[in-house]
Structure 1
Amino acid sequence: MSDSAIRQDVIDELDFEPSIDAANVGVAVKDGIVTLTGNVKTYFERMTAEDAAKRVEGVKGLASEIEVVPFGSNKVTDEDIVQRCLNVLKWNTAIPEGAIQVKVSKGLVTLEGRATWQYQKDAAENAIRRLPGVVGITNWITITPQTSPADIKKRIEEAFRRDAEVEAKAITVSVTGGTVTLEGRVKAWAERKAAERAAWSAPGVKLVDDRITVL
Structure 2
Amino acid sequence: MNDKILRQSIVDELDFEPSIDAANIGVAVDNGIVTLTGHVGSYTERLAAEKAARKVRGVRGVVEEIKVRFAGEAPPRDEDLARRAVQMLDWSVSVPPNAIQVKVQDGWVTLTGEVAWQYQKEEAQAALKRLSGVAGIINMIEVKPAASATDVRAKIEAALKRNAEVEADAIKVTVKDAKVTLEGKVHAWHERNLVENAAWSAPGVRSVVDHLTLT
Structure 1 range deviating more: 37-46 or 159-168: 159-168
Q: Which residue of 2 aligns with 1:37?
A: 37
Please, what TM-score do these two structures have when normalized by structure 1? 0.96
Deviations 1:147-204 (A, max 9, x none): 1101100111111122233221222100002000011122222221221111111110
User: Letter of the aligned partner of 2:207 in structure 1?
Assistant: L
**Cα distance in 2 between the residues matched to 1:16 and 1:162:** 33
**Cα distance in 2 between the residues matched to 1:166 and 1:79:** 45
Deviation at 1:74, TM superposition (A): 6.6
Q: Which residue of 2 aligns with 1:64?
A: 64
Deviations 1:83-114 (A, max 9, x none): 11111111110000111010000011110111
Could you say what secondary structure the match of 2:39 adopts?
Answer: strand
**Cα distance in 1 between the residues matched to 2:47 and 2:171:** 27
Q: Is the 8 A contact 1:181 1:208 kept in 2?
A: yes
Q: Which residue of 2 aligns with 1:124?
A: 124
Q: Is the 8 A contact 1:59 1:188 kept in 2?
A: no
Q: How many residues align?
A: 215
The alignment yields a C-alpha RMSD, in angstroms, of 1.2
Q: Which runs of 4+ in 1 moved over 4 A?
A: none
* Contiguous gaps of at least 5 residues in structure 2: none
Q: Which residue of 2 aligns with 1:202?
A: 202
User: Letter of the aligned partner of 2:88 in structure 1?
Assistant: V
Please, what TM-score do these two structures have when normalized by structure 2? 0.96
Deviations 1:8-66 (A, max 9, x none): 22111111211111111111111111111110111111111101111111111011111
**Cα distance in 2 between the residues matched to 1:74 and 1:40:** 15
Deviation at 1:73, TM superposition (A): 4.0
